A and B are shown apart, each in its own frame.
Chain A
Amino acid sequence: MGELLVEKHAEYIITVEKRKDDFESVVMEHLRLNGAYWGLTTLDIMGKLGAVEQDEVISWVMQCQHESGGFGGNIGHDPHLLYTLSAIQVLALFDKLHVLDIDKVSNYIAGLQNEDGSFSGDVWGEVDTRFSYISILSLALLHRLDKIDVGKAVKYIISCKNVDGGFGCTPGAESHAGQIFCCVAALAITGSLHHVDKDLLGWWLCERQVKSGGLNGRPEKLPDVCYSWWVLSSLIMIDRVHWIDKGKLVQFILDCQDKENGGISDRPDDAVDVFHTYFGVAGLSLLEYPGIKPIDPAYALPVDVVNRVMLGR
């Protein structure tokens, strides 16, 4: 039985951000704000956020903001909901939401709601339940949910529900654990969980656990550490997490650690990355692994941060 190598993971996250001439950093350049959210949230859960120069981060995040109010994935990139949420989450981690022009950001988000209640990711109009979640979470964190038609937003999400109890990206699309997380979390934040068939969905979600203890995201797919987050958080939100074998899942995640250089991969012995490091550590947090902070399954932020932002404490 291994243990979570907190020091190594913290070191990995900090060094990966400083890496130069790296193929991955080049292709990741346009989504660096997502990377910052994954890395910084992981550090915070592990109690290591102090290792980061927060003024630099905040100054950079703010330079990613576009005149429309939305954020791009990096300086000079077009705004998109994906990065707007990451920006808000990173600022929330540092208790710096007040540096935002909250009305401007929330108007940008609200402007992307469509007539049927769905959300587009940006001005180009791609629709997906991921964007419903992002909008709802962003506006909740900004205390501006009143800017959108929540009823319609909920109705659209429910129209994406399938006969197996899960949710897809659009009406009729296959149930997928990532989409289920988005839909269930959006319903949780808006107080609409009564629309979920909890027992039916709970069964589908716990069927995602495979022999190795890991979770997959759809039937007959490979297990992947990222589903430790998508599946687990959904199970917690619908109060069915006790239906899976938590001990085996903890072991699966720990087996995906790079014990020499830190970081967590999708499956044992694969290459590590910041994305999977976040989902592994966040998954362990949901599993109440000792020594790390609890994370909120719907807000995807440490519970103390959510309490501070939402409840002012």
Chain B
Amino acid sequence: MSKKTRGDIIPLLHKTKIRPNSPSLGDCKVKKMFATTDEKIREYFDIRDQIPFVEPIHDSLLENLSNYLKFGGDSILRLKGSSNLLENSYAYVEKSLRGVIDDAWLYHKSVKFDTDFMELMTSLTSPVEYFSDRAKLGRHISFHTSSKREYCCAHTRKKIFYWDDDDHMLYKAKSSIELPPAAIQMDSDEESRTRIPFKERPDWADVKPVPQDDGPCPVVPIAYTEDFSETMDYFRAIYLANERSPRSLQLTAEAIQLNPGNYTVWQFRRVVLEALAVDLHEELKFVDRIAGDNSKNYQIWHHRRWLAEKLGANAVTNELEFTKKIFSQDAKNYHAWSHRQWVLQALGGWEDELAYCQQLLEDDIYNNSAWNQRYFVVTRSPLLGGLAAMRESEVNYTVQAIRASPENESPWRYLRGLYKNDTQSLVEDSQAASILLDVLTSKNSHVHALSLLLDLLCHGFEPSQELRSAIDVLTPQSCSPDLALTKRISSILEHADPTRVKYWNWRKSTTPVQSAQCQNTDRLANFSMQ
């Protein structure tokens, strides 16, 4: 629950975001903060040279990123299940962060940095709106002041709780502030109504709630929040009674909304769905709503797959669209990719898949998930004729991708994958030789090109004079020019990639002086195992 302040990030005040009564900052200082924040962003995300942050960053993006960092980093976005693309995609970052900016927060972090929590609350004109916006993004947020006391807040749909650092509950928003109507309308069905406790609902009068049994001496005693605890007590009652009724279905919906990770509730929901023969298209809509905030939750995907299995071929379009929607927020979501691959293999829908991979790679050429999916389609689609039929066009595409960003490891690995079980053809491929020369004579990163060249040399590749000259240029002065080409390449790699110097050193030690045969474990030939 505790959350450290990002004390080293200077709070950024964008002038337009400053409240009238707060001190304003001169342009000069703002610029300095931009610079510092930019530096932090780079460091924090380990953004390597390939990521186009070197270009001037327009203010709105930087502002967004700064806010993002100030907010306590990526935890909010991560809860949203979407921090991944941050490294590469401006558009994405802007989209995700629009709406996260908040004067109240800025005001708090900058002007009232040392204020007491309650003072902050009174200084906000619309605290509930502020927190419910946060909550919509991540369901649970935390924040703190830089003074001795630290506060956290969690939002469980209807209530906002605040604690101090001793976990004493300070403040319950619901008791004093009602959610504004606007916020309620933006919620969906069940959750939109102010929750009535089960014990006050006439249709539940016959059910005796079953409290959590933590055993005589609970190892990890947990005091649950009121709503959660009551809902789970009623859930246990119907679960133990194995009651497969419409009200059970409704109750599982409420319990899932409180905690979508609770797999027992999901499983019981499936039992009830089956018993009641519910229209599963309606159930899909329910999952859509839950999945928005929880796209990294295993249970949701498992449930989705169960539904798709039941619906069969009718589900294809819907499931492909659904995963697309998830990828628009988080293009590397592992669960969504796994689901999509299952849909394609079990139910079909391959027609547009290569085009979709193409589109994702246009959005972000570094997206390894999309490269993997491309390989999946090329090797497994019943419509494309397999790797042999696709190789030529795929090599063309890959070589272009490498030319555009030679430091991107994904297309290099993809290129090797295209020659699975057929190293000799890669050795003889003029396009491969040509891209090696292009990259090695450019100012880009040479690591992947040199690594491939090393492998090819081990398999009898005969480098052109130009390629040899390119290596000559790159060879460090400390290296004897008489040294074999393969040894020199390894030396260049040791310098270029110091983090992995021991790996390259090992490559050097196992690379033969003569290029005809490679003692090295057959790195290329071993692509055969898939």
B261 at the interface (CB under 8 A from A): yes
A23, B161: Cβ atoms under 8 Å?
yes
B222, A29: Cβ atoms under 8 Å?
yes
B46 at the interface (CB under 8 A from A): yes
B395-417 CB mask vs A (1 if < 8 Å, else 0) is 00000000000000110010011
Q: How far is the CB of B22 from chain A (nearest CB, A)?
A: 26
A154 at the interface (CB under 8 A from B): no
Given A72-B264, A124-B302, is A212 in contact with B499 using a C-beta cutoff of 8 Å? no
Instruction: Give the contacts of B195-238 with A (CB-CB under 8 A).
Output: 212-225, 228, 236
Instruction: Give the contacts of A194-235 with B (CB-CB under 8 A).
Output: 195, 197-200, 202-204, 206-207, 209-212, 214, 218-223
* Partner-contacting stretch, out of B2-10, B55-63, B311-319: B2-10
Least CB separation from B259: chain A residue: A27
B444-461 CB mask vs A (1 if < 8 Å, else 0) is 000000000000000000
A303 at the interface (CB under 8 A from B): no
For chain A, give the interface size range.
35 or more
A313 at the interface (CB under 8 A from B): no
A36, B222: Cβ atoms under 8 Å?
no
| Docked CA distance A222–B46 (Å) | 8
Least CB separation from B232: chain A residue: A29
B161, B163, B259, B500: the one contacting A30 at CB < 8 Å is: B259
Instruction: Give the contacts of A171-208 with B (CB-CB under 8 A).
Output: 172-176, 195, 197-200, 202-204, 206-207
Given A29-B224, A197-B521, A271-B72, is A163 in contact with B267 using a C-beta cutoff of 8 Å? no
Q: How far is the CB of B284 from chain A (nearest CB, A)?
A: 18
A174, B523: Cβ atoms under 8 Å?
no
Least CB separation from A19: chain B residue: B167
A-B contact count (CB 8 A): 231
Query: B residues within 8 A CB of A126?
Result: 298, 302, 305
Given A170-B338, A176-B334, A195-B529, is A36 in contact with B46 using a C-beta cutoff of 8 Å? no
| Docked CA distance A36–B46 (Å) | 33
B527 at the interface (CB under 8 A from A): yes
Given A174-B372, A198-B521, A270-B73, is A124 in contact with B306 using a C-beta cutoff of 8 Å? yes
A75 at the interface (CB under 8 A from B): yes
Given A21-B167, A243-B506, is A124 in contact with B4 using a C-beta cutoff of 8 Å? no
A211, B368: Cβ atoms under 8 Å?
no
A169, B334: Cβ atoms under 8 Å?
yes
A269 at the interface (CB under 8 A from B): yes
B359 at the interface (CB under 8 A from A): no
| Docked CA distance A258–B217 (Å) | 30
Given A124-B267, A162-B372, A218-B368, is A60 in contact with B499 using a C-beta cutoff of 8 Å? no
A23, A170, A265: the one contacting B342 at CB < 8 Å is: A170
| Sample of 10 A–B contacts (CB below 8 Å) | A21-B161, A26-B259, A76-B212, A78-B264, A198-B521, A203-B523, A218-B369, A222-B87, A268-B44, A271-B142
